[in-house]
Structure 1
């Protein structure tokens, strides 16, 4: 999926990064066709997640033992600790006509609780936040920071900018999740292997370099989220998601983007990542939403997803893509498109499993 998202401002200043949208008709195409790498900063908008229909994986595979191969010396989740049996619950909010603070207030009123994760998007050359004034008490910002071409990072021309970005997140003086260069196994972003001579190793080098610069700057409040798309596009050996994995030392959470666009069930979207990485890392669903096909279809899918998370103990966070400001795709991803969907979402948000 790709989108302009309506800006969520702090003091009337755009906080998110702009990703320009390729103007294509939405009917009959997968959302990956709407991806674009063009970026203009300072306008308060961003891009969403891609979807590529593929054959469904088997959901009958045995669920691996969570963290069986994890390094006992590493704290699960880093500065945003994983809590067994609990999932942090949050969203990206982009609601038509509302500032981010107003959207947070609406969802708190509807759900009877605050967001534990507030998802924010930034372009590569944006200033990362040194404060988020509207952040609810006890909430954690998850910063999705766009990448750039590998050579820009590896040539060292961006070293000081990266260091300054580290200092800004350090100044937050609270735990923050950093999701840099997401969906790198898709063919739609400048930092993916597809747009860098089919070189997945270059992405790994970039990720590790950013991590080391942040470490040198003392930004030890950052919890690092490595977040592929749920499937690979193109689906070729060089583009396997595991080829982009930076290594256990550099990853605190494994994230994944996945949307119910083509009637995918939760196991189809998320089990490939869960099977690979739950033995070593906690997982967070970093972008998720569901198409409404009439009746109770959307509510039923939300309920099914909640049940899926109940059965996957290594999932420690879920971040919904809760927006209706996606102009070039007909689906409105906000959760309150009908009463049944709102009720299903509320039931999930208020369940013990999502009380992290």
Structure 2
């Protein structure tokens, strides 16, 4: 694996998207403050300031910004229509006291379909954003490229969207155990959720972040699924250097506190020496 910025000293970072209660309540429930804090921002949101991300630093966390370009024509990005805004983000992020992870247009190979499932356009837009922001960011952006764990039917394969080694610091995977709530969904182990995409990304030689994950309660033991995460990373997925739990009730009950058993398992996970 190539050297990359923000690598943990050992093991992997643990992260959370706080969608179920306050930061302080969640941290108290799991028994620690996770090292990564995932947040979501729209295309023109002013995310790159201490006012927005400073609280993460105060808590000793690294910010993971998921930048979502809803409603944006990627051809306009490539044509330079947003260059002033992008340069401004670079100048703002340069003033941050510590580097942050930036995950732009994640899950491009799945239903999000950023850029219209056009890999050439997606790559051109990603590279353009990278070049404009990086020209003034002082090295404070660590660039993440994170496809979904499965490709949409009929869509190009994830690696066709890869912007290139010089544009990506960390690769990533978003993937969930959807359980058996709906027809067509099966209970999946941690290994089966991530194995195929992990093996593809391993060939790129970059550290890997699980940018979003969680498990349903339906169809198996969510608590045992959580307990299996740390040993699976150690034994099967050594390139995974960060994992972020999507703590919210949305398509499924992904919450850490969906049951007392799930919470107890997550407290064990948070205390596991695998996780910084």
Structure 2 length-normalised TM? 0.89
CA contact (8 A) 2:223 2:265 kept: yes
Unaligned runs of 5+ in 1: 1-66
CA distance in 1, matches of 2:48, 2:134: 18
Give the secondary structure class of the aligned counterpart of 1:354.
coil
1:127 Cα deviation after fit: 1.2
CA distance in 1, matches of 2:129, 2:68: 12
1:82 Cα deviation after fit: 4.3
CA distance in 1, matches of 2:68, 2:14: 23
Match of residue 81 from structure 1: 7
CA contact (8 A) 2:94 2:139 kept: yes
CA distance in 1, matches of 2:221, 2:273: 24
- Structure with more of its chain in helix, by fraction: 2
Match of residue 158 from structure 1: 82
CA contact (8 A) 2:93 2:137 kept: no
CA distance in 1, matches of 2:137, 2:90: 8
Change (3 A) 1:219 1:180: farther
* Counterpart selection for 2:168 from 251, 260, 267: 251
Structure 2 residue 41 is the aligned partner of structure 1 residue 122: yes
Match of residue 137 from structure 1: 59
CA distance in 2, matches of 1:249, 1:307: 32
Match of residue 227 from structure 1: 146
1:354 Cα deviation after fit: 0.8
Structure 2 residue 215 is the aligned partner of structure 1 residue 290: yes
1:170 Cα deviation after fit: 2.0
Structure 2 residue 30 is the aligned partner of structure 1 residue 111: yes
Unaligned runs of 5+ in 2: 179-184
CA contact (8 A) 1:183 1:192 kept: no
CA contact (8 A) 2:148 2:173 kept: yes
1:140 Cα deviation after fit: 0.3
> 1:149-298 alignment to 2 at 5 Å?
149-189=73-113, 191-194=114-117, 199-236=118-155, 239-261=156-178, 262=185, 263-279=187-203, 280-293=205-218, 297-298=221-222
CA contact (8 A) 1:186 1:192 kept: no
CA distance in 1, matches of 2:213, 2:161: 21
CA distance in 1, matches of 2:94, 2:196: 33
CA distance in 2, matches of 1:192, 1:287: 21
Q: Which runs of 4+ in 1 moved over 3 A?
A: none
CA contact (8 A) 1:187 1:234 kept: no
What do the CA deviations read for 1:47-100 (whole angstroms, capped 9, x no partner)?
A: xxxxxxxxxxxxxxxxxxxx2xx4xxxx32x2x1243x41101111112xx4xx
CA RMSD of aligned residues (A): 1.7
What do the CA deviations read for 1:152-180 (whole angstroms, capped 9, x no partner)?
A: 20111111111112222222221100000
What do the CA deviations read for 1:121-163 (whole angstroms, capped 9, x no partner)?
A: 0011211230124324321000000123211201111111111
Change (3 A) 1:193 1:266: farther
CA contact (8 A) 1:130 1:170 kept: no
CA distance in 1, matches of 2:8, 2:200: 18
Match of residue 345 from structure 1: 266
What do the CA deviations read for 1:33-58 (whole angstroms, capped 9, x no partner)?
A: xxxxxxxxxxxxxxxxxxxxxxxxxx
Give the secondary structure class of the aligned counterpart of 1:179.
strand
Structure 1 length-normalised TM? 0.70
